[in-house]
């Protein structure tokens, strides 16, 4: 897993306005099927992790658990974030490719 590259793609997605961040916006992106990949912070509560993994599994949206809330927020130039969704197909693909490396 190439963490540095993955976080760079998160920043790029944010600059392209293709990120829904925070629990409410992430949930809305999943429900409306706009999310292409969901990222959950490793230190999010067990309830939050279960909620998003269940939602993503049901909707058929890929997800990954990465790092911590502070690092996720920093990658997109914001405060702590428990979850976020990338809404652009191409950015989601390169992000997932970098996570799978």
- How many beta carbons lie within 10 A of that of residue 29, not counting itself? 22
How confident is the model at residue 7, as a pLDDT?
A: 93
Mean pLDDT across 31-55? 95
* Distances, alpha carbon 41 to alpha carbons 11, 13, 45, 71, in Å: 16, 17, 9, 9
- 19: phi then psi, degrees, rounded to nearest 5: -125, 130
Q: With 90 as the cut, is the pLDDT of residue 2 above it? A: no
Pairwise CA distance, residues 101 & 98, whole Å: 5
Query: Would you state the structure tokens that stand for residue 28, as one six-digit string?
Result: 């809305």
Of 74, 76, 72, 60, which is closest to residue 14 (Cα–Cα)?
76
Kindly report the pTM of this predicted structure: 0.93
Q: With 70 as the cut, is the pLDDT of residue 1 above it? A: no
- 40: phi then psi, degrees, rounded to nearest 5: -115, 135
């Amino acid at each position: 897993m190439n963490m540095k590259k993955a976080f760079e793609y998160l920043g790029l997605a944010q600059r392209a306005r293709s990120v829904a961040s925070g629990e409410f916006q992430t949930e809305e992106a999943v429900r409306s099927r706009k999310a292409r990949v969901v990222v959950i912070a490793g230190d999010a509560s067990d309830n939050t992790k279960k909620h998003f993994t269940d939602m993503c599994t049901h909707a058929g949206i890929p997800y990954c658990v990465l790092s911590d809330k502070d690092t996720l927020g920093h990658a997109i130039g914001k405060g702590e974030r428990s979850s976020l969704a990338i809404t652009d197909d191409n950015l989601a693909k390169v992000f997932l490719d970098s996570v799978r490396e």
